Structure 1
Amino acid sequence: MDFSLSAQQRELQDSLEKSLAAISPISRVRRHADERGVFADDVWQGLADLGVCGLLVGEEFGGLGLGLLDAALVAEMLGRHVVPAPFAGAIVAAPLAVAAAGSDAQRHDLLPRIAAGTLRIGVALSEPLAGARANAGVRCRDGRLEGRALFAIDCADAGTLLVADDSNGLHLVDRAAAGLVVTPLDTVDTTRSTARLEFDGVPSAPLPGATAATLQRLGDALRVTLAADLLGASWKMIEQAVDYAKVREQFGRPIGSFQSVKHLCADMVAEIEPARALVWYAAHALDEIRPDASLAATHAKAYLSEGARFVARAATEVHGGIGITDALGLHYWFKRIAWDYQAFGAPERLREHAAALQGLA
């Protein structure tokens, strides 16, 4: 069996590699980090012009009609370039939720705007997917939302929010709705938008077809997307470490010629490369609705979280003291990996979930 990317998928990644180098160079990432909280409109527009916003939107609604494997390939490139733009929530989870659980009117209203990049939807699904923290969780009472969500993503400049309640319901909420307070959160990763949402009798528009299975699929899609992002970020760190080892000299020779540095670089590659097929298969399984799709998604995110964290540490060590300075910029990938590690379930929780899926918990 030949399990590899198609020519079109390889072309997609090659095209994105070239385009993102222009849309989001490290100088643009640095400026975004320094601006703190200012939405990168130019980066978002660049993604929209490439058609990225409509990746998972059906062609009948103006999108590309592609699958989660294609979205994972895009996520890998975004992680590779630490692109400071919404993706996992706004471009993956939101259109999937509307397409799967929205009414006909909601689909015809929202999906074309998502595909065009004119509508950004923030996503608050963390509590039902990763476990509620203290005093967190959202309840729906008589069509109004109460409570709070502590790890909502892609909320910067989003006019609409997708919120999960404690009964597997999904709701669309207007950002300007009375009773809603959106508080941006400072996290380790300045390329991502994270917020706390507080609800006090907030009116919402429920997605009528939402079920526990819908929420599970959204969680699987988010985990595969973040696993792919981890893959891209960690491979970029490996390449940077190898390139640095070739030119940095110590005792009159490149440090890459020393056995300890060689082994460290080889260990990074050995840790990450097997995960590529794991991500591909997990995304493929979700597209094909295979019975092991949730298990594959869970393992992909758990494995990449730990593998990428090892790479982040080892690549920084190869660089020595300069690896922790702002001048190099290596920390943007380091911090992105740290954010991905925790989002929608750290490895320990994901393995508990995998055990439960197999009836072992």
Structure 2
Amino acid sequence: MEFALSEDQRLLQDSLKGVLGTAAALDQIRKIAVGDQAAADALDAALSDFGLAALMVPEAEGGLGLGALDAVVVQEALGYHVAPSRFMATAIAGFLFKASGTDYLGALASGGIKTGLALTELFSRRDGAGLSVAQDKLSGKCLLAMSMDGASHVLAAGTDGRIHLAAAPQALTVMQTIDRTRIFHEAGFSGEGSVLAAEASPELVAFARLLVAADTLGAAQAMIDKAVAYAAERQQFGRVIGSFQAVKHMCAEMAAKLEPGRALIWHAAHALDTGDAEGPVMANLAKAYMAEAGTFIARTATEVHGGMGFTDLVGLHYWYKRIGVNRQLFGSPEQAREAAARLQGFAA
């Protein structure tokens, strides 16, 4: 039995990589990382023209009618190019809207609704943070909200354990993280109305974590490719360093670490698409596995580059830091494993 991407899925990924090769070239990422709004707008326009917002919206609602496996293929390509994008927020919104049977799907596909994510309260609690809900009004603040720039609405996790769709709050304060390819905010809510409230189902949480795993997969693959290319051209003692046994072993070990993660991510996405009960379990395990494999690959790829790996000339740090933030985003590997254990009945 062959389990691989379909021809359409390979074409989708290759086409997107072609767009990102120009719109998210390393020079463009450097500009975006220092706050160049024109570069960020150009990338956003290129991705909008590609039609990513419609990916998970049913055809009857004006979308492409694709599923979780297609979404992880897209997110992997975005991670490979460390491209800032609201795709993750849009895909999670599409997943939630389909599950709850709302009529916001058409607006999501057309760009009439652009969603941010304020889901931190689902995974961690901090003093002074949290969104309370009273009479369908949201109050409080959320830390590390994503994709808030230009968002018309936000998916916000309340202390009632539900996810609320509300107008994007105006009180936004940038929160600095090591990852300069994405902007996170502290979002302050002061009575924004909830127009939709849905349960944070295990499937939704698993899908969100699976997208993060796919992003790490793409970033880790990029770091391997860069390490192999560097080893094939960098010379020491009159020969390329890729001919040294130790460097060969480092590159082989990175590849060996990555491939199980790719299979796990594809299998989890397929299971979510088909409604298989093991889908959420596999998605949580994929998040946990890629968090740790990605960390190993990021460190090893940097070591292959030697001292050059720490310079901005090579730019490895953009991928390294993206993987580092992804490790904790939507829950640590320990939290993801615990969720998988609960779903299987191994933990209370």
Equivalent residue, structure 2, for 1:96? 95
Equivalent residue, structure 2, for 1:168? 161
What secondary structure, in the 3-state scheme, does the structure 2 residue paired with 1:205 have?
A: strand
**Deviation of 1:245 (Å):** 0.4
**Deviation of 1:255 (Å):** 0.7
- Structure 2 distance, partners of 1:40, 1:117, is 17
Over 3 Å counting, the alpha-carbon distance change for 1:117 and 1:42 in structure 2 is: farther
Letter of the 1:121 partner, please give it. Answer: T
Give deviations 1:191-250, integer Å, cap 9, x for gaps: 1121112223x1313315x1242xx32211111111111111101100100110011001
- Structure 2 distance, partners of 1:240, 1:99, is 39
Map 1:116-127 onto structure 2 (within 5 A): 116-127=110-121
**Deviation of 1:167 (Å):** 1.9
- Structure 1 distance, partners of 2:333, 2:200, is 22
- Structure 2 distance, partners of 1:183, 1:198, is 8
- Structure 2 distance, partners of 1:237, 1:289, is 33
Report if aligned partners of 1:278, 1:296 keep a CA contact under 8 Å in 2: yes
Letter of the 1:77 partner, please give it. Answer: A
Given the alignment of the two structures, is residue 86 of structure 1 paired with residue 65 of structure 2, yes or no?
Answer: no
Letter of the 1:2 partner, please give it. Answer: E
Letter of the 2:97 partner, please give it. Answer: V
Equivalent residue, structure 2, for 1:73? 73
Match of 2:194 among 205, 210, 218: 205
In structure 1, the gaps of 5 or more residues are: none
Give deviations 1:256-278, integer Å, cap 9, x for gaps: 11111111111101110111110
Letter of the 1:99 partner, please give it. Answer: K
Equivalent residue, structure 1, for 2:309? 323
What secondary structure, in the 3-state scheme, does the structure 2 residue paired with 1:206 have?
A: strand
> Which 10-residue stretch deviates more, 159-168 or 36-45?
36-45
What secondary structure, in the 3-state scheme, does the structure 2 residue paired with 1:56 have?
A: coil
**Deviation of 1:343 (Å):** 0.1
Match of 1:156 among 149, 170, 176: 149
Give deviations 1:170-204, integer Å, cap 9, x for gaps: 3222235xxx622121111111121112223x131
**Deviation of 1:111 (Å):** 2.6
Match of 1:240 among 226, 229, 232: 226
What secondary structure, in the 3-state scheme, does the structure 2 residue paired with 1:35 have?
A: coil
Report if aligned partners of 2:79, 2:219 keep a CA contact under 8 Å in 1: yes
- Structure 1 distance, partners of 2:322, 2:110, is 27
Map 1:38-49 onto structure 2 (within 5 A): 40-49=40-49
Q: Normalising by structure 2, what TM-score?
A: 0.95
Map 1:234-273 onto structure 2 (within 5 A): 234-273=220-259
- Structure 2 distance, partners of 1:36, 1:352, is 40
> Which 10-residue stretch deviates more, 142-151 or 51-60?
142-151
**Deviation of 1:39 (Å):** 8.0
Letter of the 1:65 partner, please give it. Answer: G
Given the alignment of the two structures, is residue 114 of structure 1 paired with residue 108 of structure 2, yes or no?
Answer: yes
Letter of the 1:239 partner, please give it. Answer: D
In structure 2, the gaps of 5 or more residues are: none
What secondary structure, in the 3-state scheme, does the structure 1 residue paired with 2:305 have?
A: helix
Equivalent residue, structure 2, for 1:182? 172
What secondary structure, in the 3-state scheme, does the structure 1 residue paired with 2:155 have?
A: strand
Given the alignment of the two structures, is residue 131 of structure 1 paired with residue 131 of structure 2, yes or no?
Answer: no
Letter of the 1:294 partner, please give it. Answer: P
Letter of the 1:117 partner, please give it. Answer: G
Identity %: 44
Root-mean-square deviation (CA), in Å?
1.7
Task: State how many pairs are aligned.
Answer: 347
Report if aligned partners of 1:161, 1:172 keep a CA contact under 8 Å in 2: yes
Report if aligned partners of 1:37, 1:156 keep a CA contact under 8 Å in 2: no
Give deviations 1:252-300, integer Å, cap 9, x for gaps: 1111111111111111011101111100011111111111111101000
Report if aligned partners of 1:101, 1:207 keep a CA contact under 8 Å in 2: no
